[in-house]
Structure 1
């Protein structure tokens, strides 16, 4: 995890160095391909997060997941936004809290090999992180459109709430068509024909999602449209994992490029700290039915990655200075995550001295370390 974080920092620094040398930040933001490219990166990230969800494993905690990605996301976004608006009264503050409210599924996936969470806890956290990405993406875009419209601007061509309802209906319609085609494929086709039709369907959904900014449809498609190479069922998953990782690196490099124009370290520090702290507060009541050993790691799970980065890149043309705040905020949340989880890991391994019989010793290692379900 630390090596991965260091590599991403190196990519960010390289992007910043290139931006400082060329000085073409304004030309990049005003270019005709900038917004379509950012939407494409967002589509890749959202599909990559939802297609990795094991739907059978999350049924047990479906209520918790639904609460986390609806009420939990809204409460987190509202609290973070309240802090930013109070300390930094700027139109961009209305959307910064939402952009940072989600948990990065790529970073969560990197934790799945660790022993700190039970199998159920790992499944719940990964599903939570994957599902809250499309919710925060939609909230960010719609609230940004509202904030921009109040000042006479426009974000991604969205109008008022009436157009939002139509946009949401279009997303659900496209996802519904994809589900219907997938259902037909499962009933009528086998092996190679099914694989090819799913690939064509997925490509079509992605193209439409990018052209129309229907990112929710791409995320929902990840739940049902999952091509599987005959004889090599995990080949597509590995390809998608690499594609999502490449999208993260490209987005990070672009973030650094724009960051070369200036940085707001204090606002970023406040935003990152607020995002990490608010998640811990909101997580505890949401996970009250989970095992006690899982609740603390989940409360310390806030990380930000590709979704927060891409949302910052999307918002930068309409809200100048967004990248200057979000970039250091992402750094702060991830550093807090590493430090807090390292502390918790050491605390979990520390023996309970009060449990040692007077004058005696522990008889086996199980007395020192709580049992972890693998």
Structure 2
């Protein structure tokens, strides 16, 4: 991010958010993030499905509403609505990076991985759809990423995404049955063509559905996602030339973490105390929050200045509180020792 900021300042880069290149770049980054999140959902996700479904439906909406309410008190502008959704998700890349050394039980790790993978597509799609509402609230109108702007457009967009996913499923079955060798090369080439088509026509829900079944090369998907993460962070830094809203970013970061604590506390009842603590403190932001900030920037010019420091604040709070929980509260309770026979 700092490299992007330095580059923009030294090169005198102006406002790039109005260009068609910027639009398709952001849609491409978002598509990579959505595909990666959906394809990262493990097959055994059916276990604890009730908790995960509550977390990524009602939980995401409650988190977004709580964050939006706090931000509306702070800035009193329609942008508060989309800011709440932009940082409401848990970053699956961050979860995957830290979960190996975590003291969470295997069950809690699975819940967190599935939660983080599912809520990325949910929040990304909510931002695209609800931004139209925020723009109407501002008396501007329109939508972002060429998304739907009214009820009939929503239905048409939903139908197009479902049709795209259905066609992709048929193509996936056909590719798997083909005798072309090497098979994986064909699968990857077809996947790239499908993603390019989805980016061209902004079929983001279709991309998320595609990731549920079309998984030809997990290693390549991981490399592409990390590359997209670096590129998105660099672009975020470029847009910080106009300044950083530290106070509003602090409010957004604290609100996001607080909303996660409340929602996780409510939906993890019945789980062991140590696991509940880790899930309550699990809010982390990464590629999806960054790309959503880039997505919203053309229509809401304050977005990057607020979301960038919020991401930093959320992740710092997560590191500090999780370390505290591990050291002082979350460590497994040692088994009681057998009494020592004084006569032995």
**TM-score relative to the length of structure 2:** 0.91
| Residue range with higher mean Cα deviation, 16-25 or 59-68 | 16-25
Residue pairs, 1:299-310, within 5 angstroms:
299-310=280-291
Please state how far the C-alpha of 1:103 moved relative to its aligned partner: 0.5
Which of 123, 145, 162 lines up with 2:132 in the alignment? Answer: 145
| Residue range with higher mean Cα deviation, 201-210 or 33-42 | 201-210
The answer on 1:286 being equivalent to 2:267 is yes
- Quick check: 1:149–1:159 contact (8 Å CA) kept in 2? no
Between the aligned partners of 2:105 and 2:332, the Cα distance in structure 1 is: 20
Please state how far the C-alpha of 1:67 moved relative to its aligned partner: 1.3
Pair 349,147 (structure 1): closer, same or farther in 2 beyond 3 Å: closer
Residue pairs, 1:326-341, within 5 angstroms:
326-341=307-322
Between the aligned partners of 1:123 and 1:262, the Cα distance in structure 2 is: 39
The answer on 1:315 being equivalent to 2:305 is no
Please state how far the C-alpha of 1:183 moved relative to its aligned partner: 3.4
Other-structure match for 2:235: 254
Residue pairs, 1:67-146, within 5 angstroms:
67-146=54-133
SS in 2 for 1:111: helix
Residue pairs, 1:339-358, within 5 angstroms:
339-348=320-329
Please state how far the C-alpha of 1:297 moved relative to its aligned partner: 0.4
Pair 351,126 (structure 1): closer, same or farther in 2 beyond 3 Å: closer
- Quick check: 2:274–2:332 contact (8 Å CA) kept in 1? no
The answer on 1:265 being equivalent to 2:259 is no
Between the aligned partners of 1:337 and 1:273, the Cα distance in structure 2 is: 11
- Quick check: 2:108–2:275 contact (8 Å CA) kept in 1? yes
Between the aligned partners of 1:220 and 1:205, the Cα distance in structure 2 is: 12
- Quick check: 1:25–1:258 contact (8 Å CA) kept in 2? no
Unaligned runs of 5+ in 1: 1-11, 228-235, 362-374
Please state how far the C-alpha of 1:45 moved relative to its aligned partner: 1.1
SS in 2 for 1:346: helix
Please state how far the C-alpha of 1:271 moved relative to its aligned partner: 0.3
The number of aligned residues is 336
SS in 2 for 1:137: helix
Root-mean-square deviation (Å): 2.2
Between the aligned partners of 1:51 and 1:33, the Cα distance in structure 2 is: 27
Please state how far the C-alpha of 1:192 moved relative to its aligned partner: 3.4
Please state how far the C-alpha of 1:261 moved relative to its aligned partner: 1.0
Other-structure match for 2:30: 42
Ranges of 4+ aligned residues in structure 1 off by more than 4 Å: 349-353
